Amino acid sequence: MESTSPEITPARPLRITIADAAKHLGETVEIAGWLYNLRKSGKICFPLLRDGTGVMQCVAVKSALPEETFEALKGLTQESSLIITGKIRAEQRAQGGFEMDVEGAEIVQRVPESDPYPISPKDHGTDFLMDHRHLWIRSRRQHAILRVRHEVIKAVRDYFDSHGFTLVDTPIFTPAACEGTTTLFPVKYFDDEIVYLTQSGQLYNEANAMAFGKVYCFGPTFRAEKSKTRRHLTEFWMVEPEMAYATLEDVKRVAEELIVFIVGRVLENRRTELAVLERDVSKLESIKAPFHRMSYDDAVKKLTAKGSEIQWGGDFGGTDETILTEDLDRPVLVDRYPSQVKAFYFEPDPDRPEVALGVDVLAPEGYGEIIGGGQRIYNLDLLLKRIDEHGLPREAFNWYLDLRKYGGVPHGGFGMGIERCVSWMCGLEHIRETIAFPRMLYRTRP
Ligand code: 4AD
Ligand code: MG
């Protein structure tokens, strides 16, 4: 029989990512990415290559390369895409600890000089950057923030998955309000039916908790708040745990544990990103249990003493939250708000029915509320009364009332806004940078 001889093609070097460079010291490999920056001086040039996992300084020497390769690299424009082949060398002075000695390069797409990459290293205004958000996320700082966001989300999931919670996701199209009717986005459904984008998965989460014991949902939520503050998005991601047979104290304990866990993970895995952001990590290192605890009454006293106009019975504004937390080294759990400022579902304190068994967790350094939650009403008659008092349509809540007819139990949970948490972890001025494509009062593009 005729034997088939294997085809001989020159082996292409192994494709690696910049994050993996340490494993390939001394090897010739290729890295596919984009030109982040370029320095040149006569017979040598230094393309900075980014590939999404890191930035690698490459060293291209004229005498070591074919003429056209060196000229192509030397004249390359910012954010052109290219694949560089070269040898990885340890270099203490380089960011990341390595450099690549260029042996070859393939330009995939060259950005033309006539229409250069719009975000140059010079300063741009926020509006300009937000209009170019689809490109801005390539920048080092934005990239670092979004990687911290990923870490926070992973930590959240790992925490709940390893503490007996089942993930049961809740719907986005909902027939009724959860957090009050004033901040709903209506959507035209079929046959002129109007539904709303969810404000919170909580009500469905309560049904899920009665079926599974401990559950969480995690998804986008929507608020038609016309607030133009550094803390508000109209679309944000919220993680919400809910537990059957749980009290306000259980809710507080889980909230505290979750935050300590998230901070631990961010410190463990995202030091490089925190350094890019020039985050003072000592502030995060001091986040340990137990957190501060304070009643709403005491919070009002503290605010009044610091010159706030707040009266007992009012809700805290952003400025109040900042005043309450600017001098703290760790979060504070504020509980027992007046029922009148809280949603319809809060269980009243049996000793003081005018206050609700609810808690807000306020982050330190002035970041303010990152978690809101508490214990839910489980008595049918009281719940009906509250639904009526809040002017909510009973028909829409029939299924929710069933949870109090068929095995009602004390239960509770909370919601944590991912972007508020990321903003605090990264030490940011404004929440808009914590999500790839923010939706705000005056921004729905790109
Ligand atoms: O305090 P909120 O409104 O609570 C609820 O929605 C409850 N149903 C949650 C529950 O008990 N399952 O919102 C919870 C958190 C806030 O603490 C904040 O972190 C975040 O959601 N949040 C926002 N984040 C960004 N932009 C907004 N407009 C936000 N509104 C709330
Ligand atoms: Mg709240």
**Chunked in runs of 10, what are the mean pLDDT values of the chain (446 residues)?**
61 94 97 96 95 96 97 97 98 91 98 96 91 97 97 98 98 90 93 95 98 98 93 97 98 98 98 97 97 97 93 92 91 96 96 97 94 97 95 92 97 98 98 98 94
Task: Give the pLDDT score at 6.
Answer: 63
Whose tokens are 């029989």? That residue is: 1
pTM for the model stands at 0.95
- Is the C-beta atom of 331 inside 6 A of ligand 1? no
What are the angstrom distances between the C-alpha of 405 and each of 321, 375, 400?
38, 18, 9
What secondary structure, in 3-state letters, does the chain show? CCCCCCCCCCCCCEECCHHHHHHHCCCEEEEEEEEEEEEEECCEEEEEEECCCCEEEEEEEHHHCCHHHHHHHHCCCCCCEEEEEEEEEECCCCHHHEEEEEEEEEEEECCCCCCCCCCCCCCCCHHHHHHCHHHHCCCHHHHHHHHHHHHHHHHHHHHHHCCCCEECCCCCEECCCCCCHHHCCEEECHHHCEEEECCCCHHHHHHHHHHHCEEEEEEEEECCCCCCCCCCCCEEEEEEEEEECCCHHHHHHHHHHHHHHHHHHHHHHCHHHHHHCCCCHHHHHCCCCCCEEEEHHHHHHHHHHCCCCCCCCCCCCHHHHHHHHCCCCCCEEEECCEHHHCCCCECEECCEEEEECEEEEEECCCCEEEEEEEEECCCHHHHHHHHHHCCCCHHHHHHHHHHHHCCCCCEEEEEEEHHHHHHHHHCCCCHHHHCCCCCECCECCC
Q: How far is the CA of 87 from the centre of ligand 1 (A)?
A: 50
Residues 6+ positions from 293 with CB-CB distance below 8 Å: 252, 332, 333, 335
Task: Give the pLDDT score at 177.
Answer: 83
Task: Give the pLDDT score at 4.
Answer: 58
- 392-415 pLDDT, tens per residue? 999 989 999 999 999 999 999 999
Task: Give the pLDDT score at 5.
Answer: 60
- Is the C-beta atom of 370 inside 6 A of ligand 1? yes
- Is the C-beta atom of 334 inside 6 A of ligand 1? no
Q: How far is CA 159 from the centre of its chain?
A: 16
Termini Cα distance of the chain: 63
Whose tokens are 């070859």? That residue is: 104
Residues 6+ positions from 389 with CB-CB distance below 8 Å: 344
With CA atoms as reference, report the closest residue to 331 among 303, 372, 301: 372
Task: Give the pLDDT score at 298.
Answer: 96
- Is the C-beta atom of 47 inside 6 A of ligand 1? no
Q: How far is the CA of 371 from the centre of ligand 2 (A)?
A: 7
Task: Give the pLDDT score at 136.
Answer: 97
- Is the C-beta atom of 143 inside 6 A of ligand 1? no
Task: Give the pLDDT score at 154.
Answer: 98
- Is the C-beta atom of 342 inside 6 A of ligand 1? no
Q: Which residues surround ligand 2, an ion (CB under 5 A)?
A: 372
What secondary structure, in 3-state letters, does 61-87 show? EHHHCCHHHHHHHHCCCCCCEEEEEEE
Q: How far is the CA of 372 from the centre of ligand 2 (A)?
A: 5
Atom of ligand 1 nearest to the CA of 238: 21
- Phi, psi of 239, rounded to the nearest 5 degrees: -105, 135
196, 186 contact by CB (below 8 A): yes
Task: Give the pLDDT score at 387.
Answer: 94
